[in-house]
Chain A
Amino acid sequence: MDSGFLRKLINSVTGRRGKPGGLEKLTDEELLKIYVESGQEGAFEELVGRYADKVYRLALRMVRDPEKAEDVFQETFTALATKSHTFRGKSKFSSWLYRITLNMAYMQLRNVKKLRSTVSIDEYAPYDENGTLMGKIMHKDWSRMPDRVIYSKEALSVINKIVNELPESHRIVFHLRDVEGMTNKETADVLDISVPAVKSRLHRTRLYLRDKLSDYFYERER
């Protein structure tokens, strides 16, 4: 690898140099073009700034281990620095970067004994054969509980745990859609699946999560 290029890269990651003005107004794709064509470190720095947290969160959601997530994080940004010229613009930059992250995560998980998800939610539904809701939903209604309880550290930890126990196919769709706020189409592009498949997985996941949260808040208040 070219040393001068990497030195520029190190400066950009650590943000030692001030950002050239105006970069924050450019799109991701414009920044990448500048970086590929001129090696301008400010452009790379801006991309790292925009995506560091998102890439790390996705990596952690995939591998469920902070150390391994950091490895994926490092490998993703090293790949961004060295393979940015391979971006063809067929999808959004963000989709391309998330695909790199997922590929790095899959490689990371290759040598790990696969943890079988204990949860199966493909057919999950909260109603009986007559189409009537089950599970004492009104009795367990937590929608008016105070924010300090609902957004508490404990509640968020419980949600994280529930999400991490989901099958990978549902966990990642949920993460991209409901945590990162991507659209159905963007999520489908990243995962190379159809929009109906995204919607179906997200639907079952949300139903499952809503039920689990109801159980949690109900037990907590008893």
Chain B
Amino acid sequence: MFMCKDVVENIMDYIDKELDMETLRELEKHTGECPECKAFVDTYRRMLDVTGKLKERPSVTPEIRNRLKTLLKSKIDPC
């Protein structure tokens, strides 16, 4: 019998669409009947959206770029 634990342990393959048909069918049947698992899947998906936003920052500032330039310069002319 498919349980909440099975939803959790198959969630990565479910999101990546790598589940076999039988497991996929059972997982979707279970989440259709279990509101806790439905909320688990929904919040898991939302979390992936949010954590993907971490890519937008921080970024390298012009100051950091300039300091890299200075570092390289100092290697040419240490004095």
Is A179 a contact of B43 with CB atoms below 8 Å?
no
* B65 → A minimal CB distance (Å): 7
Say whether A70 faces chain B, with CB atoms less than 8 Å apart. Answer: yes
Question: Complex formed: what's the CA distance from A137 to B40 in Å?
Answer: 6
* B63–chain A nearest beta-carbon distance, Å: 9
A23 to B72 alpha-carbon distance, docked (Å):
23
Given A133-B40, A142-B46, A213-B43, decide whether A9 and B72 contact each other with a Cβ distance below 8 A. yes
The A interface is mostly helix, strand or loop, or mixed, namely helix
Provide the residues of chain B in CB contact with A60, threshold 8 Å: 58
A156 touches B53 (CB 8 A): yes
Contact of B51 (CB < 8 Å), options: A13, A133, A159: A159
Which B residues lie within 8 Å of A66 (CB)? 58
CB neighbours (8 Å) of B38 from chain A are: 138
Taking CB atoms, residues of chain A closer than 8 Å to B4 are: 127, 131-133
Main secondary structure of the interface of B (DSSP, over half): helix
Q: Is the interface on chain A under 10, 10 to 19, 20 to 34, or 35 or more residues?
A: 35 or more
Is B67 located at the chain interface by the 8 A CB criterion? yes
Contact, CB under 8 Å: B71 / A178: no
- Please state if A74 and B60 are interface contacts (CB–CB under 8 Å): no
Closest to A82 in B: B75
| CA of A10 to CA of B75, assembled, Å | 11
B39 and A78 within 8 A (CB): no
Q: Which residues of A contact B72 (CB under 8 A)?
A: 6, 9-10, 13, 78, 81
Can you list 23 A-B pairs, Cβ within 8 angstroms, ordered by A?
A: A6-B76, A9-B72, A13-B72, A14-B66, A73-B60, A78-B72, A126-B40, A127-B5, A131-B3, A131-B5, A133-B4, A133-B36, A133-B37, A138-B39, A143-B39, A150-B49, A151-B53, A159-B50, A163-B51, A174-B51, A178-B51, A181-B55, A210-B43
Instruction: Give the nearest-CB partner of A61 in chain B.
Output: B54
Q: Is A202 an interface residue (CB 8 A)?
A: yes
